[in-house]
Amino acid sequence: MKNSKKIAIVGGGAGGFFTALRCALVAKQKNINATITIFEASTSFLRKVRISGGGRCNVTHHIFEPRELISNYPRGQRELLSPFMQFQAQDTVNWFEKRGISLKHEADGRMFPTTNSSETIINCFLKEAEKLKITLKTKQNVKSLKQLDNQQISLYINDDKSYVADAVMIATGSAPGGYRLAKNLGHTITDLAPSLFTFKIDHPLLKEMAGTSFEKSKFELRIDGSKKAFKQEGPALITHWGLSGPAVLKLSAWAAREMKATKHKAKLIVNWTATKNNNEAEEIILKLKTNYSKSKIANALPDKITKKFWLSILDFLKIDADKQWANLSKKETLSLSNLLHQTEFDILGKSRFKEEFVECGGINLKEINFKTMQSKICPNLYFSGEVMDIDGITGGFNFQNAWTSGWIAGNNMLTPSDLS
């Protein structure tokens, strides 16, 4: 065998595991004697994989064209194009299928294992790691990294342990420790801000409406001091605290830094039925008035609006629900159409999904070589996933960034190139 190599992976999540698995396979193919170790600070591996998609694991997204794929990343679009030319969502599907795991895509493009269980993905990774003889260590808090004169990197772990590696991968997600490790080796960290969060809203229209969903609504976010227009269209959900759902989470991702600047306070305009204009919304009400003139207003309602929410609208506008449609006044007609097309809310703050969140910001992308995922500042240092200033909208895009960057790093960690 060729000269032995010691590879250290800091972080036992999606990016860390994918890096280790690819690196081990490359070592096997090139007949390199590699010792690959994953150091995880917590007591378990792949925590975000386990909780992703409500425990089903949203592995990737059903977009197999790199230029279309990058459009789903508020930060990192330009940098990801070249990596996705090397390894994209189709390659992810193929990777899992070669290991006996089939993925399916849903109507919105999200892809899950056909078992609908994140344990399928976790067990695959653990099985592959065992087969490739990757060393897995938990409760290993890497407190600092130091570049040695021979360009190896020393890892100081817990209180008194040290480990010297030929190459090190930082794949710590949004954990502060990962940013600190990179910063100590000369990297800059861009402004951090929460991404993928729900909106806290206190409004009588939403009271007692938790669980009410909308198949397709339009949203416009207006933030004081921002000249950008933030708009999204898609499913939405009323929660106990306000509004959530794919469209809301996408808005939060695109406006992450602007929302942080206002302490997550802004105006949200909701078009519940996704009408093109107010006239179209008024036409919905007028058709109901014509077609159901003898019916109670409570019993004949617009498509895609639940009766519970419709009654809340009538109560909010002080319209008698028992009145016949024929007796709806012109003023009431306008009030209903205006509310359907353009309800304005004050966003009071944000809520997060337990541990299933994403952070905007991280290692400055100008300091990373995206052909190899190696640092341009510190030889033999590599990055994968969310520790970089890259984040995607909801739908499997953040995992795809982890798979892609991990795969590329794994290709290069055994035989590092120069820093250019």
Stretch(es) of the chain classified as CATH 3.50.50.60: 2-193+355-412
Instruction: Express each pLDDT in 285-331 by its tens digit.
Output: 999 999 999 999 999 999 989 999 999 999 999 999 999 999 999 99
> For the segment 41-76, what is each residue's pLDDT rounded down to a tens digit?
999 999 999 999 889 999 999 999 999 999 999 999
The mean pLDDT value for 361-385 works out to 97
Q: Which of 268, 302, 266 is nearest to 283 (CA)?
A: 302
Predicted confidence (pLDDT) at residue 418 exceeds the cutoff of 60: no
Per residue in 156-188, pLDDT (tens digit) is 999 888 999 999 999 999 999 999 999 999 999
In the predicted model, what is the mean pLDDT of the chain? 95
Three-state secondary-structure class, residue 277: coil
Per residue in 3-26, pLDDT tens? Answer: 789 999 999 999 999 999 999 999
Q: What is the pLDDT at residue 227?
A: 85
| pLDDT tops 90 at residue 356 | no
The mean pLDDT value for 325-353 works out to 94
Inter-residue contact 416 to 27 (CB < 8 Å): no
Q: Does 420 have pLDDT greater than 50?
A: no
> Which among 259, 272, 346 has a CA at the least distance from the CA of 309?
272
Percent of the chain with pLDDT over 90: 93
pLDDT at 189: 98
Q: Are strands 153-157 and 142-147 parallel, antiparallel or unpaired?
A: antiparallel
Query: What is the reported pLDDT for 353?
Result: 56
E strand or H helix that includes residue 363: none
Rounded mean pLDDT, 373-388: 97
Q: Please give the class, per CATH, of domain 2-193+355-412.
A: alpha beta
Residues 180-226 pLDDT 10s: 999 999 999 999 999 999 999 999 999 999 999 999 999 999 999 88
pLDDT at residue 2, rounded to an integer: 56
DSSP 145-209: EEE-TTS-EEEEETTTEEEEESEEEE--TT-HHHHHHHHHTT--BPPPEEES-EEE---GGGTT-
Q: Higher confidence at residue 354 or residue 410?
A: 410
**350 has which bridge partners?**
199
| Residue (of 205, 204, 21) closest to 128 by Cα position | 21
pTM: 0.91
pLDDT exceeds cutoff 70 at 372: yes
Say yes or no to pLDDT of 246 above 70: yes
CB atoms within 10 A of CB 10: 27
Q: What is the mean pLDDT of residues 118-127?
A: 98
